[in-house]
Structures are given as structure tokens and as C-alpha cells.
Amino acid sequence: MTSPTRAELLDRLRYGKVWDVVIVGGGASGLGAAVDAAARGYSTLLLERGDYACGTSSRSTKLIHGGVRYLRQGDIGLVRHALAERNRLLINAPHLVHPLPFIIPARSAVQRLYYGAGLRLYDLLAGASSLQASRLLDRGETLAALPGLDPLGVAGGVRYWDAQFDDARLAIALMRTASEFGAICLNYSPVEGLLQANGRVCGVAARDVESGESFEIQARVVINATGVYADAVRRFEQPDSTPILSPSQGIHLVLDADFLPGGTALMIPETADGRVMFAIPWEGRVLLGTTDTPRRDLPVVPLPFAEEIDFLLDAAGKVLLRAPTRADIRSAFAGLRPLLDAGRGAPGGTAALSREHAVLVSQAGLVTVAGGKWTTYRLMAEQVVNKAAEVGELMTLPCATAMLRLAGGEPEDAEQLSQLPGQGIRLHPAFDFDEAAVRYACRYEAARTVEDVLARRSRALFIDATAARACIGRVGELLAEELQLSSERLEDLISQARTSSNQFSCA
């Protein structure tokens, strides 16, 4: 089956159709809502100003988890919900989510028992969806499973199981799933204003970045799913609205696999300043993270601060046998957490649901979903679409996502890929991605730029920024062929990708 072209999708915006649901934002929250709304049968349009998951949703720690640290905060309900969602994702997206063992090393027998008791509770909360029971390990077992761990002071450990996923690829799977249910999803289409009539939000003003064409799009209900930018979109309606978010930046560093060989992730529940740190095997490398730095300026591409890099290197150096230095960093990236500002509440609207995420309705009927985490995107989507259906007075239709298999990983996908030229011609020895996959990304996964391919269809920029930089020229040529790009456009995209590779590099 061929996918509609961008021109065909844009054409659908031109005929004054009134959509049931228009969603602003193409990260985990927006794409999840698009799948939910389209699968219920609502006519659904999603507009993303950049690429899908270009914001926080490609910059996570890549864990589908209950959140061991929330246990310490006593947030049992949240952990239980997240564990149930973890189970659903393992079933609904087995091509993108898999179980992963973690070890928390202990410095004493008492500490081992303490962590063991906490993780036993984690097992119990998972109930039937528990992956494998946690287990106390002696010193020898701990060091054998984590050969990169500095043995000094290690008395033993506790192994538990959670799940790992590819965040940007899951976002693309959601976009494709929503499209299969008839939703129109468009990247590079910023929403620049809200349409209002009789005191009600009734649509959006949007623009196609590539052509510059503007659109006024009518909707029965508009969902604001713009992550840390949710307050900015709320201000389209009410310029003086009180912010509901307190964003915080977290960074990750990617190191070679030999810093932590063995396939088991390391979890340090408390670093020198009380933060959790993970070192996780990922894409043949080690992902180290994360930090927690309040940030109000909200750049489109947040960059790691030097102090954050030093903090992570220092924390890793304290627990790993070989202390990493700046020269060992293959890639570095930052993301902004859309944390709810509990102190401010939700003025002029109905706040609902857990401490972790909220669904708010403004006076004029703009429905905002804010906060939360990747793991719970499906639950958030169910709740925000329930609310949107009420606000937009849509026919009540039940949520259909609990058992919905997400797109990708099927024999048809492999067959489509196998028909494209460039099979087995790898872009770089550091990556599995071949030229056929670049063509596939353009034809079936809405890649529009060199950076889309290198950051979110493959994960090259996240894995090794220098090696990714070496692929820019060839990816550009393939993109130009697939999308019939002018030479000026191609030059722009190449220079944009070079800037991006510098941003992922710590050199």
C-alpha cells in the first residue's frame, strides 16, 4: 500500500471541512491522542510544527517503566498505572518495546535488603504484568552481570526488570497507526493561532512550512498537546493565562558499550545530589542519564549545559571501573520535561486526573493535556479524547486502544522495504541503517529533512554524532531523489543537518 504524498495530505486541508478533532503537537501526547481519536472513528487532524517527536519525545531515557523512584515518593497509584501500561505496550508494540534487566548495586547487606523490599513491592504492584520477579544478588553475581561496575565497596545488588523502547520510532509507529485509521497527520505545520467564534475555540490557523501556505481549519474541538509549549498555545486564547508547567531539563550522554558491557542496565538510586542515574545498554552503546535542571526559556532545541555534562561524567566515574571523559562522549542531547506546576493549579478550567498529568478545559473550550510520561501516553490519550468528545459534543464512542497493535514490524513492512533499492548498502559501519531504509523513511514515514532521517527514523545522531555527520551528504542525495528537492533546498537541508550534528556533539 502506498502512503499519500504530502501534497495530497495538504489538499485535504483546503475544502473547509469541519474536523471532529484537531490536535496540536506531534509528540507522545498528541500522537497518542490522534491514534485514540481516529480509532474511535472521529475525523482527526494532527499538526506538528517540526518533525514528529522532535521535542521531548525523542529525548527520553527510553524506558517504559513504572518508575522505581516514584515508589520512594509513595506514589503507588501512579506506579501501578504505569506498570499496567508497560504491559500493554509490550503486547501492542513488541517490535519497539522489550524487557530489560536492571541492577541496583548495594553498599551493605542492609542496603541490599532495603532495595530488595522496595523492588518486591514493585513486583507486587505489577501483579500479573510482572516481567520477572526481582532477586537479591550476591557480590559475585552483581559484578558478573555488570562487568563495567567498579567493584570497590559493592556488597551485592538487586536485579529487577523493566522495559526499554525506541522513543522516536514509537512516535512514528503512532503516526502511522493514526493514519491507518484515517487521521491526517502533518509535520512541519505549526499552529499559529486559534480560531474563535461566539467565545468558543472552533479551529486553528496553521501554516505549511515548506510552501509558506496558510490554512484556517475548522474543528469541533481542539486538543493542545504541545508538551512544554502548552502554556504558549493556551496564551493564543488567553494572553494572560497563568502558566501550568514548570519545565525541567534532563540530559543524556552516549558512550561506547565497553563502559558497561553485559546487557544489564545499572541503576544508581541516589547520586551525590540525590538524583537517580541510569547507565543503560542502548543501540550498541551506553546511555547515561539524567539531570534535572529547571528551565524557563524553552528553546526549540535545548542543549546540555556544561555543568550537566560534568555532573554526569563525575557521577558515572564514581561507579564505573573506567571513568568516562568528554572525549568518550559519542553523542549528547537534552530534553525538557513538561512537569505540572502543582502550586499554580489550573485556573479557569477543570483539572482532572493524577498528579503526573492533567487534562484541562479552558473557558473557550481548548482542551489541554499536560505533564505525564511516555509510558502513560495511551492512558493520557484515552482521558483527553474522552474530555474532548464531551467538549466538542461528539457522538460518544468507546476507546479502542487498550489492545490495539501499533503499526510496524509486520511482514508487509519488511516486504515494502525489500522492494526498495539500496538494500544492505549501509550508510556507515557504525549504524545498521541502509540506503533502502532512507528511501522507506521518505515514502512511508514522512521524513522531510536529512535531520529527520538521521535523528528520528534512524537514531544515528543520538548514537554517534561524528559518524552521523559523515552520512549527511549521502542521505541528502537520497532524499533529493525521493522528494524531488531543488538544489537550494538540498543545500539548506545539508547545512541544517550539519548544525544539528554539532548540537549532538560535545567536541
Ligand X SMILES: Cc1cc2nc3c(=O)[nH]c(=O)nc-3n(C[C@H](O)[C@H](O)[C@H](O)COP(=O)(O)OP(=O)(O)OC[C@H]3O[C@@H](n4cnc5c(N)ncnc54)[C@H](O)[C@@H]3O)c2cc1C
Q: Which of 337, 439, 457, 459 binds ligand X (CB under 6 A)?
A: 337
Q: What stretch of H or E contains 278?
A: strand 277-282
For the bound state, the minimum distance from the C-beta of residue 225 to ligand X, rounded and expressed in Å, comes to: 6
For the bound state, the minimum distance from the C-beta of residue 49 to ligand X, rounded and expressed in Å, comes to: 4
CA dihedral 145, 147, 148, 153 (to 10 degrees): 80
For the bound state, the minimum distance from the C-beta of residue 253 to ligand X, rounded and expressed in Å, comes to: 12
The answer to whether residue 226 forms part of the interface with ligand X (CB under 6 A) is yes
For the bound state, the minimum distance from the C-beta of residue 250 to ligand X, rounded and expressed in Å, comes to: 3
CA dihedral 5, 10, 12, 18 (to 10 degrees): 140
- Please, where are the H alpha helices in 107-213? 109-126, 139-145, 167-180
Q: Which of 336, 437, 472, 493 binds ligand X (CB under 6 A)?
A: 336
Q: Which is nearer to ligand X, 192 or 410 (CB)?
A: 192
For the bound state, the minimum distance from the C-beta of residue 412 to ligand X, rounded and expressed in Å, comes to: 28
Q: What are phi and psi of 241, to 5 degrees?
A: -65, 145
For 141-174, give one letter per residue: b (16+ CB within 10 A) or e.
ebbebbebbbeeebebbbbbbbbbbbbbbbbbbb
Q: Which is nearer to ligand X, 23 or 427 (CB)?
A: 23
For the bound state, the minimum distance from the C-beta of residue 228 to ligand X, rounded and expressed in Å, comes to: 6
Contacts of 239 (CB under 8 A, 6+ apart): none
Q: Which is nearer to ligand X, 34 or 146 (CB)?
A: 34
For the bound state, the minimum distance from the C-beta of residue 30 to ligand X, rounded and expressed in Å, comes to: 5
d(CA 101, CA 131): 10
d(CA 453, CA 117): 44
One symbol per residue from 354 to 383: x for binding ligand X (CB under 6 A), - otherwise; what is it? ------------------xxxx--------
One symbol per residue from 13 to 52: x for binding ligand X (CB under 6 A), - otherwise; what is it? -----------xxxxxxx----------------xxxx--
Q: Binders of ligand X among 241-270, rule CB under 6 A?
A: 250
Q: Which of 19, 36, 40, 55 binds ligand X (CB under 6 A)?
A: 55
Q: Which is nearer to ligand X, 373 or 459 (CB)?
A: 373
Q: How many residues bind ligand X (CB under 6 A)?
A: 39
For the bound state, the minimum distance from the C-beta of residue 28 to ligand X, rounded and expressed in Å, comes to: 4
For the bound state, the minimum distance from the C-beta of residue 35 to ligand X, rounded and expressed in Å, comes to: 13
Give the CA distances from residue 264 to residues 134, 160, 167, 319, 374, in Å, rounded to whole numbers and listed in that order. 13, 10, 19, 15, 22
Local structure of residue 141 (DSSP, 8 states): H
Half-sphere exposure of 480 toward its Cβ, with a 13 Å CA cutoff?
A: 15
Q: Binders of ligand X among 290-319, rule CB under 6 A?
A: 290
The answer to whether residue 225 forms part of the interface with ligand X (CB under 6 A) is yes
H helix count then E strand count, the chain: 17, 18
Strand partners, 255: 286
Q: Binders of ligand X among 123-152, rule CB under 6 A?
A: none
The answer to whether residue 60 forms part of the interface with ligand X (CB under 6 A) is yes
Q: Which of 13, 33, 54, 388 binds ligand X (CB under 6 A)?
A: 54
Cell numbers describing residue 25: 503537537
Q: Identify the CA nearest to 438 among candidates 28, 51, 62, 424.
A: 424
Q: Cell numbers 548544525 label which residue?
A: 499
Selected range binding ligand X among 263-271, 321-329, 333-341, 414-422, rule: CB under 6 A: 333-341
Task: Give the interface with ligand X as residue ranges (CB under 6 A).
Answer: 24-30, 47-50, 53-57, 59-63, 190-191, 225-229, 233, 250, 290, 335-338, 372-375
